[in-house]
Amino acid sequence: MPAEDPILIVGGGLGGLAVALALGRSGWRVRVLEETPEFGAIGYGIQLGPNVFPMFERLGVSAAVLRQSNLPPALVMLDALDGTEVARLPTGDSFRRCFKHPYVVIHRIDLHNVLLDACRSSPNIELEASTCVSGIEAEGDRIGVRTKDGRSIAGAAVIGADGLGSCIRAQLRNEGPPRLTGYVAHRTIVPMERVPDGVLREEVVLWGGPGYHIVHYPLRHGSVFNLVAVFRTSTFAEKGDVQGHREEVIRTYANAHPAMQALLGLMDLERRWAISDRDPIRHWHQGRAVLLGDAAHPTLQSLAQGACMAIEDGVCLAGLIDAAGGDFEAAFRRYQVARVVRTARVQLDSRVLWEFYHAAGIARDVRTLTVADWSEAHMFDCLAWLYDGFQTSQP
């Protein structure tokens, strides 16, 4: 039976909104507390694997997501030094037949707005911006959160969907900050007209080089082009300026293919993200508080699955809360069992793939040789554990 107090969701990112929507659709009252003044995402692109579409179907937003998406014909890996094609995973008809759902790219703001609109149309969901949570308050049978501006908010349970730097996780677990990898990312979106000739425009492309990579793909029906440049640098923890970043990029990518150099000329180098992850852990809950998405299992971007995992978490958790009829601790235990190994595999495989992307010297030759005889069927087989999706009805 839905509880009297709402379930509190800390963080209105993709994971927080997915669990809010799933709970709201089943009749649970939820209150989403988001620290930023506006619900909305960082304005860059995101890739979504076929495994997330059954989740969108459960949330009733599949058609709306597809309307805003681009369907690339392939995921292509190019060698950053000589521009040769290392691997090509077709994402057209054969992919769709195999995995039942498409591979898409979408502007994060568009995806966020689809979820927000659906949340806003549910009378069970309250969205509260400018609410920075500083921690959980639990005493006896009562649970809630306190906010930075000194309020106490009572809830039936607390879901920490507050991302990589989660304050809910910090309170549940005695551990340090996330692991910094020494890599940074710069992200940019430019009009498609500015993309240099000779660059693939429809595919999701990853140029892999020694200690650096670039990913690019089209968004908004091909009107704009999303670019992410990632590289290793000793200044990863420093707050630099555009001029310093530019000099570093020129140095880092000095031996890269000319097409990559041209793409780097388009980059907005003002803002950078330090790339981090954490080791997988087995325990995501304590009492009536639980973690979800990046708060539970932050991952490197190599598999492009962090948001997909957060959305899978959200649908799974909501289903188990509903099935447990208000026994939150039982639901959280089942959720952890259902999700830990799959998300840990994404974290650990992403680390392996990270090294593969950045192979240098003889390791690069080994990579080329290894991939040379990969057939489409072999690549589909290797990805089946991930793209075949996740059974939300698991106990």
Ligand X SMILES: Cc1cc2nc3c(=O)[nH]c(=O)nc-3n(C[C@H](O)[C@H](O)[C@H](O)COP(=O)(O)OP(=O)(O)OC[C@H]3O[C@@H](n4cnc5c(N)ncnc54)[C@H](O)[C@@H]3O)c2cc1C
- Residue 162 or 349: which CB sits closer to ligand X? 162
Decide: is 70 part of the binding site for ligand X (CB under 6 A): no
Q: Are strands 158-160 and 7-10 parallel, antiparallel or unpaired?
A: parallel
Contact at 8 Å (CB) between 159 and 34? Answer: no
Decide: is 15 part of the binding site for ligand X (CB under 6 A): yes
**Sign of the four-CA dihedral 109, 115, 121, 127:** negative
- Binding ligand X by CB under 6 A: which of 111, 156, 162, 252? 162
- Residues making up the chain, counted from first to last: 395
- Binding ligand X by CB under 6 A: which of 7, 8, 9, 14? 14
- Residue 11 or 210: which CB sits closer to ligand X? 11
Using the structure block, give the residue that is written with the tokens 């000739």.
197
Stretch that binds ligand X, among 94-102, 277-285, 307-315, 366-374 (CB under 6 A): 307-315
Distance of closest approach, residue 55 Cβ to ligand X, in angstroms: 12
- Binding ligand X by CB under 6 A: which of 6, 11, 90, 209? 11
Distance of closest approach, residue 367 Cβ to ligand X, in angstroms: 22
Distance of closest approach, residue 42 Cβ to ligand X, in angstroms: 8
- Binding ligand X by CB under 6 A: which of 71, 74, 81, 185? 185
How many angstroms separate the CA atoms of 23 and 17, rounded? 10
Distance of closest approach, residue 372 Cβ to ligand X, in angstroms: 27
How many C-alpha atoms does 219 have within 13 Å on its Cβ side?
Answer: 23
Residue type, 147: T
DSSP state of 80: T
Distance of closest approach, residue 95 Cβ to ligand X, in angstroms: 17
Beta carbons within 8 Å of 321's beta carbon, 6+ residues apart? 7, 23, 28, 157, 328, 331
Q: Total residues contacting ligand X (rule CB under 6 A)?
A: 33
In three state form, how does the secondary structure of 20-77 look? HHHHHHCCCCEEEECCCCCCCCCCCEEEECHHHHHHHHHHCCHHHHHHCCECCCEEEE
Distance of closest approach, residue 376 Cβ to ligand X, in angstroms: 22
Contact at 8 Å (CB) between 105 and 124? Answer: no
Distance of closest approach, residue 149 Cβ to ligand X, in angstroms: 11
Contact at 8 Å (CB) between 326 and 1? Answer: yes
Quick note: the x/- pattern for ligand X over 34-53, rule CB under 6 A, is xxx---------xx------
- Residue 114 or 364: which CB sits closer to ligand X? 114
Stretch that binds ligand X, among 20-28, 247-255, 301-309, 336-344 (CB under 6 A): 301-309
- Select from 195, 187, 21, 194 the least CA-distant residue to 111: 21
How many angstroms separate the CA atoms of 308 and 49, rounded? 7
DSSP state of 192: G
- Residue 168 or 364: which CB sits closer to ligand X? 168
Distance of closest approach, residue 190 Cβ to ligand X, in angstroms: 16
- Residues 222 to 281: which contact ligand X by CB under 6 A? 228, 273
- Residues 100 to 119: which contact ligand X by CB under 6 A? none
Decide: is 13 part of the binding site for ligand X (CB under 6 A): yes
How many C-alpha atoms does 220 have within 13 Å on its Cβ side?
Answer: 15
Quick note: the x/- pattern for ligand X over 123-142, rule CB under 6 A, is ---------xx---------
- Residue 34 or 110: which CB sits closer to ligand X? 34
How many angstroms separate the CA atoms of 101 and 52, rounded? 9
Stretch that binds ligand X, among 32-40, 175-183, 189-197, 319-327 (CB under 6 A): 32-40
How many C-alpha atoms does 112 have within 13 Å on its Cβ side?
Answer: 17
How many angstroms separate the CA atoms of 146 and 37, rounded? 18
- Binding ligand X by CB under 6 A: which of 172, 206, 227, 307? 307
- Residue 68 or 368: which CB sits closer to ligand X? 68
Stretch that binds ligand X, among 31-39, 111-119, 251-259, 320-328 (CB under 6 A): 31-39
Residues that bind ligand X (CB under 6 A): 10-16, 33-36, 46-47, 132-133, 161-164, 167, 185, 228, 273, 293-295, 301, 304-308, 310
